[in-house]
Amino acid sequence: MQSSTSSNDSVLDANIAQAASASSVHAHEHGPDLRMFGFSLFLVSEGMLFVGLFVAYFAFRASAPAWPPAGTPELEKFMPSVFTAILVASSGVIYLADRALLKGDMGKFRLFWGLTTLMGLIFLGGQAYEWANLTFTLKSGLYGGTFYVLTGFHGMHVIIGIILQIIMLIRSFKAGRYTPESHYGPAATSVYWHFVDVVWVALFGMLYIL
């Protein structure tokens, strides 16, 4: 291994010569597909962002004399529960889309995939409706501030999820773009969607139930 005592110029020449052929020489090597591993790590860090904000929320709540503060009515629970149910159900629907993709049934995949997007949009609409009708604002002390920042952060993630879904849906019309063997895009998007769902369930519990 301690091989290199030869002239360095020849080494450099060898490098340059080798560079030209490098990608073809090594094309036969196949490592594992690590994209999903990387994406899960990204979600770990996303999760820590929410964990940090959740802990801050509980710390603020613990320091406040009353929650919600005097004069602010309790949040209305019925409609948010319905929208929550729709978002949670969409996780099941996107799972069905994944299953269809694994079987190569693209028609069924597009059906369930589009349905998931629709359900996400309904959830977002519900969120927008609720924001429009609340009596407090972002500047209404800790209560208003935490409510809007937390739901807003989550809503932003729903929007990103929906954008990803629409991109995958459009791409899926190209024949052979996604196959039962190779479909990293939809797979990562649906993992992301489950993640957004889980975060919402935690948020719903914190903001509406507790």
Partner 1 sequence: MVQIAQGDHPEAPTGWREYFSFSVDHKVIGIQYLVTTFIFYLLGGLLAMVIRYELLTPDATLDPNLYNSVFTIHATVMIFLWLVPALAGFGNYVVPLMIGTRDMAFPRLNALSFWMIPPGGILLMSSFLVKTGAAGAGWWSYPPLSAQLVAEGDKMVTNTGEVIWLASVIFLGTSSILAAINFIVTILGMRTKGMTLFRMPLFCWTTLTTACITLIATPVLAGALILLMFDITQGTVFFNPTGGGDPVVYQHMFWFYSHPAVYIMILPAMGIISEVLPVFSRKPLFGYKALAISTIGIGVLGFTVWAHHMFTSGTPDWLRMFFMITSMIIAVPTGIKVFSWIATVWGGKLELNSAMLFAMSFVSMFVVGGLSGIMLASVPVDIHVSNTYFVVAHLHYVLFGGSVFAIYAGIYYWFPKMTGRMLNEFWGKVHFYTTFVGFNLCFLPMHWLGTHGMPRRVAAYAVDFQTLNVIVSIGGFLLGISTLPFLFNVIYCWIKGERATANPWRALTLEWTVSSPPPVENFEVLPEITEGPYEYGKPLLSVPQQQQS
Q: In the complex, which residues of this chain contact partner 1 (CB under 8 A)? A: 1-6, 8-12, 14-16, 18-20, 22-27, 29-35, 37-38, 41-42, 44-49, 51-53, 55-56, 59-60, 63-64, 69, 138-139, 141-142, 145-146, 149
Q: Whole-number minimum distance, CB 139 to partner 1, in Å?
A: 5
Comparing CA positions, the residue from 198, 205, 207, 203 lying closest to residue 91 is 198
Please identify, using beta-carbon distances, which residue of 49 and 160 lies nearer to partner 1.
49
Q: Whole-number minimum distance, CB 111 to partner 1, in Å?
A: 30
Answer for the pair 74, 146: CB distance below 8 angstroms, yes or no.
no
Please identify, using beta-carbon distances, which residue of 113 and 147 lies nearer to partner 1.
147
Q: Whole-number minimum distance, CB 154 to partner 1, in Å?
A: 13
- Contacts of residue 127, defined as CB under 8 A and 6 or more positions apart, other chains included, come to 83, 151, 155, 158
Spatial separation of the C-alpha atoms in residues 188 and 125, rounded to whole Å: 24
Spatial separation of the C-alpha atoms in residues 95 and 100, rounded to whole Å: 9
Q: Whole-number minimum distance, CB 4 to partner 1, in Å?
A: 3
